Amino acid sequence: MSDIQIGLLMLGGVIIALVFAFNTYQEWRFRKRTRQAFSRHHADVLLDVPKNHVRDGKQERLEPVLLQDDDDTPAYLNDVAPLHHPGAQPPAEPEASDDIDFDEASGMDTADHQALIVALLDPSLDFIAEVVFSRPLSLSALPRFSVAKRVQAILRSERGLWTPAELLPGTRYKQINFGLQLVDRSGAVTEQELASFCQQISHYAEQFDAQVSFPQRQQKLVAARELDRFCADVDVLIGINIVPAAPIPGGRLRSVAEAAGLQLEPDGQFHYLADSGNSLYSLASADQTPFSMLNLQDRTFPALTLLFDVPRVAGGAAVFDRAMAFALQLTQEFGARLVDDNRRELSEAGLLKIREQLVRIYGNMDDRGIAPGSVAALRLFA
């Protein structure tokens, strides 16, 4: 055997080892994210308890949401892309001599687009700090805040037009509003977190000799706790287990899932997506092993879990019906049973009971003015 052949064999061995190591790392990262996403365990919605709370129960579950970066640092401003209204173009600052309407390309007039941008910060969801510069300034970067909650900003240009947190070349700004989200799935903002945020905002404003104004801190803390209590009452994740008579080959599973309109996403689950791109329901391995193109080729899976993240799903009970129809399709395809987390078989009456509970939850959310699957719901239940 020549030196070249030996070298090629060694190179092939190194490549195989790297691929194996990468897949092992990906699985470790997935399990780590799963533990972090549900550090507060929750009980099973299918047992004799009022709800399956994501926040305060006992049963671990995967949460079908976009996950944060691998490191343990909090989410800061500019780490999360600003929310845009579907169909709206990224805002651009027109030149003074430009006669084209600011939102001509998006089909919206300037007033409507401006209203949408201002609505990115919601006083009912955010603690909004206003920083007003003494004169319009060109900014090279936006600050990053050391806080655990989501921070978003909108900027007002010299011409008085608002834009999301995106600095435009050649544009000077006279005001920035920073919004600290009051509640998410980790709970309500604390007094210490709010004080730290205000201190960091004040320090930023001092650098530019700018004026800063804050809402009443204690009032916002009270409102945050009340909102968090409401969110805890409706924060429910339903998991339906599909247990086959024999382990399911990965290739066959992929074929069935894709034929039903689901697609494999980077979080290691198959998702059924709405036109907006939001997940309506997802299919995961019951043992929390992430699906990948590689393991779907050569592995079998002893059980599956269909996940339905109640407050994040627009369409309510109708989407739940679609998810349950898919679950029943899986039972027929793989000779499986639908069971709860204690392996108790689910009857039609049991599924109907869950559906009735969903209708009540969605009614409570509508009464509160937080529609399931809305921008507000996606922010609160993330």
SS (H, E, C) 257-293: HHHCCCEECCCCCEEEECCCCCEEEEEEECCCCCCCC
284-317 pLDDT per residue, tens: 999 999 999 999 999 999 999 999 999 999 988 9
pLDDT at 342: 81
Q: Which residue has the tokens 């921008």?
A: 375
More confident residue, 264 or 67: 264
Cα separation, 5 vs 154, whole angstroms: 60
Mean pLDDT is lowest, of 18-27, 106-115, 240-249, 310-319, for 18-27
What lies within 8 Å, CB to CB, of 322 at 6+ separation is 272, 280, 281
The residues pairing with 300 across neighbouring beta strands, listed in sequence order, are: 249
The answer, yes or no, to whether residue 102 has pLDDT greater than 90, is: no
What lies within 8 Å, CB to CB, of 218 at 6+ separation is none
pLDDT at 343: 83
Q: Which residue has the tokens 């007003």?
A: 132
Q: Report the 10 Å Cβ neighbour count for 110.
A: 13
pTM over 0.75: no
Does the domain at residues 236-380 carry the CATH identifier 3.30.1400.10?
Answer: yes
| Chain Cα centroid distance, residue 115 | 24
Write out the E strands in the chain: 126-137, 151-157, 162-164, 173-181, 183-184, 187-188, 211-213, 237-244, 248-249, 263-264, 270-273, 279-285, 300-301, 304-309, 336-339
Q: Alpha-carbon torsion 46, 48, 53, 54, what sign?
A: negative
pLDDT at 44: 41
Query: Nearest CA to 364 among 308, 311, 309?
Result: 311
pLDDT at 341: 80
Mean pLDDT is lowest, of 55-64, 136-145, 253-262, 356-365, for 55-64
179-234 pLDDT per residue, tens: 999 999 999 999 999 999 999 999 999 999 999 999 999 999 999 999 999 999 99
pLDDT at 12: 67
The residues pairing with 177 across neighbouring beta strands, listed in sequence order, are: 130, 154
* Mean local confidence (pLDDT), 126-150: 95
Cα separation, 180 vs 197, whole angstroms: 8
How long, in residues, is the chain? 382
| pLDDT band, residue 110 (cuts 50/70/90) | confident
Q: What are phi and psi of 313, to 5 degrees?
A: -105, 120
12-49 pLDDT per residue, tens: 666 666 655 655 555 555 444 444 433 434 334 433 33
* Mean local confidence (pLDDT), 167-180: 95
| pLDDT band, residue 8 (cuts 50/70/90) | low
Maximum average pLDDT range among 64-73, 335-344, 368-377:
368-377
Q: Report the 10 Å Cβ neighbour count for 13.
A: 10
More confident residue, 15 or 142: 142
Cα separation, 269 vs 138, whole angstroms: 44
Maximum average pLDDT range among 106-115, 181-190, 315-324:
181-190
In order of 156, 260, 346, 352, 380, the CA distances from 376 in angstroms are 23, 29, 33, 28, 6
The answer, yes or no, to whether residue 97 has pLDDT greater than 50, is: no
Domain boundaries, the chain: 110-231, 236-380
Parallel/antiparallel/unpaired status of strands 270-273 and 300-301: unpaired
Q: Which residue has the tokens 């401003």?
A: 77
Half-sphere exposure of 104 (CA within 13 A, CB side): 7
* Mean local confidence (pLDDT), 230-255: 96
Mean pLDDT is lowest, of 94-103, 166-175, 272-281, 311-320, for 94-103
Query: Nearest CA to 370 among 189, 66, 55, 122?
Result: 122
Q: Which residue has the tokens 């936006």?
A: 142
The answer, yes or no, to whether residue 62 has pLDDT greater than 80, is: no
| pLDDT band, residue 1 (cuts 50/70/90) | low
pLDDT at 93: 39
Let me know the angle formed at the C-alpha of 379 by 378 and 382, rounded to the nearest 5 degrees: 80
Instruction: For the chain, give the percent of residues with pLDDT over 90.
Output: 66
